[in-house]
Structure 1
Amino acid sequence: MICCLNPECHQPLNHDSNKFCQACSTPLVPLLINRFRVLRVLSNEGGFGKTYLAEDTHKLNETCVIKQLAPKQQGSWAFKKAIELFEEEAKRLQDLGEHPQIPTLFAYFEENNFLYLVQQFIAGENLLNELEQSGEYNESQIRELLLDLLPPLKFVHERNVIHRDIKPENIMRRKSDGRLVLIDFGASKQLTVTVHTQIGTQIGSQGYSPLEQIKGGEAYPASDLFALGATCFHLLTGVQPFDLWAENGYAWVNDWRQYLPSSVSGRLGEVLDKLLKIDIQERYQSADEVINDLSPKPPTPVVPPTIPVPPQRTVLPIPKRQVTPPQPQFKQPVALTQLIKTGKFRNWLLGVLLLGLIGIEIYSYTRYGFSANPIFLIDSFPSSFFLEKNLKRYFNSVFSVAISADGKTLASGGYQTIKLWNLATGEEIRTLKGHSGSVYSIAISADGKTLVSGSYDNTIKLWNLATGEEIRTLKGHSDSVLSVAISADGKTLVSGSYDNTIKLWNLAIGEEIRTLKGHSDLVRSVAISADGKMLVSGGYQTIKLWNLATGEEIRTLKGHSDLVLSVAISADGKTLVSGSLDNTIKLWNLATGEEIRTLKGHSYSVNSVAISADGKTLVSGSDDKTIKIWRVAP
């Protein structure tokens, strides 16, 4: 077989006799630079090229890996940056490939306007695949990992190179000897993240990369050591650091032990504590420091006393001080910390939700990701509220909640699971499993029969709410599904995604109706008007209004200076409310698209907005840990 080298070809394998690709008609190249025979695609780098498995005909057909750089927008900043990073990766591999736990560079060349980098093939599995196949690591395995990986990392740092993207996917276990190999030192994959998020020149993986790297673009040996600590945490717990980082930034590193399936020894715990320090000055500064703390300490030699022993004297015993053992501490939900004092507080956010406020989302999106709270049930009458019950806490974070129209069932989405609760008693009914990533959004149909979930795994799942059985999985988005909404008649499902698109689906049969394109960035929020005629979507600085029946864009509303996190439509269909990362709430005339007013009062992002059924009360929830109630003037 011969492999087509067109990076956009979806069926690249061809018979050896073919001169042109049977799928895309591109001329086929039997040997790159008359040396390398490409066998098949290993991975797609998201528009910047592909990674191929190949044979080196100059080395008795030795297997190798070829990375291709082929960005679409040639001449752009992205193209120039891609070339720069690709060349950097080649230079790094050339300098570092002499180490047995780092792939060797075989060649670097240009052909047919594409750049190619050829490196040693490592037969084995990356640690993420190993985790998925064999389960969480134990303490002994983590110690072995650290002691095996720290020496090559020291080798890298001593040559003034920072990897900047250490995570389980970039660590291979070599099949021949079981040793760990550090891979992916550069360009195209990292640049894909940079361009996708449109955040300057950020390089790294969110959740694994430390604050100084994500926020300031700076990286040091201590930065790689933080990523190594986050990798160990992931392998110990099975919990992805991205999901915790998305919940509430870097707060998770302060209490990472709560996610452990079993405790670790004091020594390893202290090492992980120091690897995961947010402040770089408090973190390990070199691989040698970590190795030293992991290595067994030799016993301290006993030195006989060389000074005269003083005369014995009577010493009165010191009475033992009574120490009260520390009581377990339970973190209050972030959005309510300033409200909960002695168990009595006002909480309009959930209170009015139970009274019938529409479209409220309890999970949030901060400047660094999602945040979420434990689930609480509150008295539904809007006077002095008190905490009625605290539902059983998730092992992981709660990202989304929804309540059935009859008020009997609460659904909550977390890491790979959805839980159903009896709203009256607070008892868990069942757990729905099927997603392979966090469940970011949930919606329940008006008839209470169907639950819809959107996930980090790029899929949407439909569930029978009564039985908990999965009905079907909808695939179509190429990135995380951040928001879902169901029309009042239960016929149409709408989903918004990190892939910048909105998709409309026939809920009854699960078929895609159409895809709406218009947003230049992720679609964070969607809402459907009560009459089912209009769809509203929130993206970066813009809100778009769409004709739900035809999919035509009606208009674009501009006014926010950052991502629109939440949208809600009044029951009469006249007013739209939007909350944003720019800390403001805006009210819009839906008929004309004109901005009515801007509400300022929150000091951080406005994550959730809702309007009461009579249209007189607006509620907003924010990362400033407050809930605000606004009276809508007639």
Structure 2
Amino acid sequence: MNFLQESYRLVKLISKRGFGKTFLAVDEGKFPPIPCVIQELSLQNEISKTFEQKVQWLEELGQHPKIPKFLASFQQNGHFYLVQEFIAGRNLAQMVEEEGAFDESQIWQLLKELLPVLKLMSDRNIIHCDIKPENIIRRSSPNLETRGDLVLVDFRSAKIVTEIDQLTTEISIGSPEYAAPEQTRGKAVFASDLYSLGVTCIYLLTQISPFDLFDIANNCWVWQQYLTTKVSDRLAQILNKLLQNAVNHRFQSADEVMQAIGMESKTEDFKFSTPNPPWQCLHTLTEYSTGVNSVNALAISPDGNILASGNNDKKIRLWDLNSKKILATLSGHSQAVKSVSFSPDGKTLATASDDKTIKLWHSKTFEEICTLFGHSHAVKSVAFHPNEQILASGSWDKTIKLWDINTGTEICTLIGHKLQVNSVAFSPQGKLLASASCDRTIRLWQIAALEDSDKEFKNRPCYSLLSTLSGHAWTVLTVAFSPDGKILATGSDDNTIKLWKVSTGQLISTLSDHSWSVVAVAFTADGETLISASWDKTIKLWRVSTAEEIITLSGHADSVSTIAISPVAQLIASGSRDKTIKLWQLVEQQES
């Protein structure tokens, strides 16, 4: 089998053990295709409920920089599959083979990097169950003078510990050379991972198989006899306590080890989603006809009363946000609707479609005004100029077009992107237009004065390229200006959001806590908060001034495709491939 789920091309088998396999693969569904790692789990060793639990906590753990990002999961041909980020670099087994045995300073560094990760996992009742040199990768660093982080990989054997688990025995899992005695008997505990970490350390120090470092006759480790360079008594004491056969003689937690080596015993600077967040989903809109398989675009009218949604069934729906009922369903496009936008005065709705056209509608009477023809490929984004007379459109024909709303005619075409254009946005002052493309760049266009309605727009110069912003590793999918026009936010297939200073084109910060493509970004009216939507099924809120994540909103059962923010209320709308729209509202916290 060369493909899974029609888009994952299997490149090679990385490892095969027990009930599962690990493959290096390429996601051909992305442009450009991206490498990933696919883990196959046998139905003999997984049941649907435990697999769903594993997916849930892998999504959470995957937000940590020292654990691969979780990308997808599915079931096919009698197996469960987990798709995770491919970590470019060398594992510790490769490093020791190429560079020789580790010295003491390298072991201290290993402990300092991995112990907080093990603490993070144990705090969530998770045991990795297969810690060994092959499953610890030193991430490649673009800067040759710096060293990349260590990343813990391969969670096929990992398990969540419950009270029931403590009373039962399971099939032995993990790698025999590195597994703790109790784990080989089917009784893995949190200290089992610490034992495996200790065995990993002595292998790296000696470059000798752990099987040969254990004296079976005397039931003890003799690793120090094989050292070519002695280590300090302090390190030897730490490792020997990690390696105790009896669990009650061993370090019981990562906390204990961290305290013993003088590390502050706390989880790394890393925040998970806040439980019981003040933002809550108070309404889910699902009144769709049969056949709708994705909500692609959302927009809220300037008065905050109407929500417009564009869908894969070629229709646009207008919702009354007060009653949560459908006001009207607009038909006319012959393919999926990919973008919707209200004019600043709220009187006109623009919609863009894969059918290569843009349509303008009366938002009060729901009548079609006209259809704009000119693009030679799917139109993915439309945005109104603040003067309400100009509309910009971005297309997969690699161009951006400006349209005269009064006449329905094309003003000019902006050419320069090398690949498809995914998103366009005007600055609040209307002097700039930003465009995002599959060519991994964002372009800022200077727009000439177009304010006077009595001027003839057509056939006169209307734009110039101001700057090109580069920095994303993959396709740029979305752009948004802050309300004051000073910051530009961009989201990408590389799972990151970047904030740029508009006046200089300088990168301000990179937000990288999403585990999949960021498909939509939007600022709140006060400019203090940025909202992002991702295929990782979440919406995140960020504090713009500090680039800190405020909260993660979870609830969609499939990829989130779009978001919209009410200009007059504390309300966020999100649309998803799960066929629903969710309305999130800020809930006042009651004092207890």
| TM-score under structure 2 length normalisation | 0.47
Q: Which has the higher helix share?
A: 1
Q: Which has the higher strand share?
A: 2
Structure with more relative contact order (C-alpha pairs < 8 Å, separation 6 or more): 2
| TM-score under structure 1 length normalisation | 0.44
